[in-house]
Amino acid sequence: MTSSTTGAPASGRDDDRGSIAVELALGVPMAVLLIFLLVGAFNVGRATIDVNSAAGAASRSASLARTAPAAAAAAHGSATANLSDRCARMSVTVDTSQFRRGGTVTVEVRCTVTTHGLLGIGLPGSLTMTAASSSPLDRYRADT
């Protein structure tokens, strides 16, 4: 086995020196970016679930109240208790137009979260998540 005049090995294989460094220089940043995207997607999903859960709990709390104003107060209190550490801004809308025996109460919760809190890195911006839930009022409840 002799080498050719160009200095390449006689086996016909190219020189691979430095290829690992190039692969690492390209692969590591891509892997880190993928990890941040996965963490961000997980946190967005978790925040969405929290907002949906808060809307459901708020509508259940409102359906147990005896009067429409008490239902609105109960819904606001429940949503605030569930999302106080999650939202930068939150609004709760309570529809008590059907607040009577056999009717329903509907609660819409709107929560704005910062992307910094979701991704864990200092990106500007925010996401607004909205969820609504309706709960029936007991048909046989006593009016007091």
pLDDT for 57-113, tens place per residue? 999 999 999 999 999 999 999 999 999 888 889 999 999 999 999 999 999 999 998
Residue 5 pLDDT: 58
**How many residues are there in the chain?**
144
26 located within any domain: yes
| Domain count across the chain | 1
CA 14 vs. chain centroid, Å, equals 50
Confidence tier at 25 by pLDDT (50, 70, 90): confident
88 located within any domain: yes
85 located within any domain: yes
9 located within any domain: no
Parent domain of 44: 22-136
115 located within any domain: yes
15 located within any domain: no
pTM over 0.85: no
Runs of H (alpha helix) within the chain: 19-63, 68-83, 115-119
User: What is the C-alpha to C-alpha distance for residues 108 and 58, in angstroms, rounded to an integer?
Assistant: 9
121 located within any domain: yes
Q: What is the mean pLDDT of the chain?
A: 86
Residue 9 pLDDT: 57
Side-chain-facing half-sphere of 139: CA atoms under 13 Å: 1
Residue 120 pLDDT: 65
14 located within any domain: no
